[in-house]
Amino acid sequence: MARRHNDPARTREQILAKATDEFARLGFEGGRVDRIAARCNLSKNMLYYYFHSKEKLFVAVLERMYERMRDQQRDLAVRTSDPAVALEQLIRYTFNAFRDDPTIIRLMNEENKHKGKYLKKSQRVRDLYGPLLETLTFVIERGCKDGVFRPNLDPVTIYLMFCALCYHYLSNQFTLEIALGRDMSSESAQQRWVDQIVEVMSLHCLAGSPSLRKIA
């Protein structure tokens, strides 16, 4: 009775939201259609009415997550003209994005567990990292031209590096905390970690750093 001829678009969104949560916490096979429906105060049939199958619902969840990511990235305005500062902002932005929405990491892991099976079914998801990579490319190219960064930096490689450093820390928090016996979840621990990432990535990019080959 809560419901009753409500806004269908809203219903759809709500299903997606609850499904995102469910699949992120429990994975595709662990996620339960009933539970999602129950959390929407909806009969199970509605999920099928809107999404046709559990699998298609999962794909929709993935797509929606990618959209969300891209939209967030679109908001991303790296205002400063200092490339080093811009890089730092991008890194911090990336860490925060992963930390603030833990479903991203979980859903991506899930997808990789399935070897990209569901993602491949989606047409629209190719340019996932589009805006962020564009910004990054812009920043790096300018940094190289300015001589602030060393030449021939590959934006994708840079991205992969700081992404890995952000992602892995958050993704493997639980096992690492148990195995290393080290606090990784407190605000301050995480802040220190991002600082480290910024440091190592800056070192890697800045022109001042000696080329490794020279050192060796």
Partner DNA sequence: GATGAATGAGATTTCATTCAT
Partner DNA sequence: CATGAATGAAATCTCATTCAT
- Site residues for its own copies per CB under 8 A: 25-30, 84, 106, 108-116, 119-120, 125-129, 133, 156-157, 160-161, 163-165, 167-169, 171-182, 193, 196, 199-200, 202-204, 206, 208-210, 212, 215-216
Distance CA 35, CA 23 (A): 11
Report the residue from 17, 27, 39, 48 that binds DNA according to the rule CB under 7 A: 48
Judged by beta carbon distances under 5 to 8 A according to partner kind, the member of DNA, its own copies, none in contact with residue 6 is: DNA
Residue among 35 and 204 whose Cβ is closer to DNA: 35
Least separation, in Å, of the C-beta of 6 and its own copies?
A: 19
Q: Is 154 left (phi over 0), alpha (psi -120 to 50) or beta?
A: beta
CA gap 206, 209 in Å, rounded = 6
| Contacts of DNA in 7-46 (CB under 7 A) | 8, 11, 31-34, 41-46
Find the binder of DNA among 17, 27, 49, 130 (CB under 7 A).
49
Give whichever of 151 and 181 is closer to its own copies, judged by the CB atom: 181
Residues 87/205, Cβ–Cβ less than 8 Å: yes
Q: Which of residues 54-113 bind DNA (CB under 7 A)?
A: 54-55
Instruction: Report helix, strand or coil for 11.
Output: helix
Q: Does 53 bind DNA (CB under 7 A)?
A: yes
The contacts of residue 148 (CB under 8 Å, 6+ apart) are: 82, 83, 84, 206, 207
Alpha-carbon distances of 170 from 66, 150, 165, rounded to whole Å: 19, 30, 9
- Which residues does 113 contact at the CB level (< 8 Å), separation at least 6? 27
Q: By CB under 7 A, is residue 3 in contact with DNA?
A: yes
Q: Examine residue 176 and tell whether it contacts DNA (CB under 7 A).
A: no
Nearer to its own copies by C-beta: 17 or 206? 206
Spatial distance between the Cα atoms of 197 and 127, rounded to a whole number of angstroms? 25
User: Which residues are at the interface with DNA (CB under 7 A)?
Assistant: 1-6, 8, 11, 31-34, 41-46, 48-49, 53-55
